A = this chain, B = another copy of it.
Amino acid sequence: MIATKAIENGAEYIASLRGRNLKVYFLGDRIAEPVDHPVIRPSINAVARTYDLAVEQPELATAWSSLSKRRVNRFLHVTESVEDVVSQNRMQRKLGQLTGTCFQRCVGMDAINSLFSVSFDMDAQHGTGYHSLFRDFIIRMQEANYVIGGAMTDPKGDRSKAPADQTDPDLFVRIVERRADGIVIRGAKMHQTGCLNSHWIVVMPTMRLREADRDYAVCAAIPVDDPGLTFIYGRQSCDTRALEGGEIDQGNAQFSGQEAMILIDDVFIPNHLVFMDGQTEYAAMLVERFTAYHRRSYVCKTGLGDVIIGAAALIADYNGVASASHIKDKLVEMAHLNETIYGAGIAASHESQPTPAGNYQPDDLLANVCKHNVTRFPYELARLAQDIAGGLVATLPSEKDFDNPETGPLLRKYLKGREGVSVEHRARVLRLIENMTLGRNAVGYLTESMHGAGSPQAQRIQIARQMNIEQKKELAKKLAGIRD
């Protein structure tokens, strides 16, 4: 994919996605033009919002890159300071607030930042040349202002077996052929956030590898419109409401997330786009650095949290119960939990350390703590939002019943709440709460909070590794007067 000129805003970004002839399947059909598909479009809008924010608030959503010597979108920026890492979190929260969903670019941002330092370390030890190839790739991306998607999660097959031991060797992405000018890879990547809204994807291994898994130790960049790629779009709760015509029942008609399976059918990748080939011992390091970045990127969910707290406060207001002490107390609890997530996330960023490659790596322990809270607290915020909303959040008749001349007037008469509040406004905020707690963006706010960047147990394993239990035992021994 060759850019003639850099993409400058959301509209140009959307235009850039057209006519790529991607093989995208959804609900059993191949989608002619994803950009125009009502179910897919909101996820494109969410990415477009990241371009527009860069225009509106360049200090927040862009940074000056010493690589390409220009201001670049922060999602394409390789961090050059602690403040750069912190600014990612501030931008993520803002975009969560603006879209109420997953805006899909963090995987790519976190992938390039981790591969930047890991490729450096590989070269340093093995004399490979990955790092400068990778820098060149990043510079091109920055110049064109492209979206990079990160692709990490393999299907994994039988989870008790390593990649090379699976009955079907394709259940982890692998190199099936090595040629002089490049490699051929095959496999699939699961749950890929924002992949078909990207211009390029960077493939990475998903876990610690053994020597025997050499063909699985591969990092490489692929243009999204490579004909060897097929995308099967994941269903989301209530996804087809976008096909019904109205906008109220969607809750958040403008924005949504996206997750798809990518099938990789023997795609050739030229050498200059290959950033790891066989260095199995770096797979775990890459995963750890990526997840340290990505787990504190879930600070984005505090932006969604701000929306759901606001929605809960709004419906309480519309219902005429905003001053009830239990309502106020629940809103405080929601804010407290939301900020607890934010605290650990931004602390991880503030505590970043430089890598040998020169970029900055967030604190691993705090990043895991942040994400682990994300697997718990959004569910509690959602529960409290439903509590405050009242039962109507799940029993409200459809938008079309409001439009029907028989039922519309009845609904407007009987669903009248506090004086001065329109029934439509009440319906809209109820649908937004439904959207984030049961509907389409509940996938992003809840399930993705659970499993994105690793499921809860993955964080617990990492916390166990980082918690320095032996030092803690020494502290206790000293105070207890135990001398070995």
Contact = CB atoms under 8 A, between A and B. Distances in A.
A346 B351 contact: yes
A235 B28 contact: no
A244 to B, nearest CB: 8
A48 interface: no
Contacts of A255: 479
A365 B346 contact: no
Interface stretch (A109-117, A157-165, A210-218, A267-275): A157-165
Given A343-B348, A392-B191, A446-B386, A475 B159 contact: no
A181 interface: no
Given A28-B398, A413-B170, A447 B340 contact: no
A428 interface: yes
B325 A369 contact: no
Contact of A387 (B340, B366, B455): B455
B400 A27 contact: yes
A373 B344 CA distance: 12
A235 B248 contact: no
17 contacts: A26-B401, A27-B244, A27-B400, A158-B320, A159-B418, A171-B414, A237-B434, A252-B479, A255-B479, A260-B395, A307-B475, A325-B326, A347-B347, A347-B350, A379-B379, A394-B448, A429-B482
B432 A438 contact: no
A66 interface: no
B480 A432 contact: yes
A16 interface: no
Interface in A211-257: 230, 232-238, 240-241, 244, 247-249, 251-255
A36 interface: no
Contacts of A475: 97-98, 100, 306-307, 310
A230 B429 CA distance: 25
A134 to B, nearest CB: 28
Contacts of A259: 391, 394-395
A263 interface: yes
Given A261-B397, A476-B429, A155 B344 contact: no
A380 to B, nearest CB: 8
Contacts of A376: 383
A336 interface: yes
Nearest to A422: B482
A281 interface: no
A386 to B, nearest CB: 5
Contacts of A473: 310-311, 313-314, 317
Contacts of A249: 235
Contact of A472 (B307, B324, B346, B414): B307
Interface string A309-347: 111011001011100111011011001100110111111
A455 B330 CA distance: 13
A379 B446 CA distance: 12
Contacts of A415: 155
Contacts of A325: 325-326, 329
Contacts of A344: 339-340, 343-344, 347
A143 B86 CA distance: 38
Given A414-B188, A475-B307, A481-B428, A234 B394 contact: yes
Contacts of A372: 336
Nearest to A251: B480
A472 B339 CA distance: 13
B401 A232 contact: yes
Contacts of A99: 479
A26, A376, A401: residue with the most chain B Cβ atoms closer than 10 Å: A401
Nearest to A477: B314
A188 B480 CA distance: 27
A84 to B, nearest CB: 14
Interface stretch (A1-9, A67-75, A122-130, A461-469): A461-469
Nearest to A365: B339
Nearest to A234: B395
B391 A190 contact: yes
A241 B407 CA distance: 24
A470 B261 CA distance: 32
B476 A234 contact: no
A301 interface: no
A17 interface: no
Contacts of A434: 237
B447 A386 contact: yes
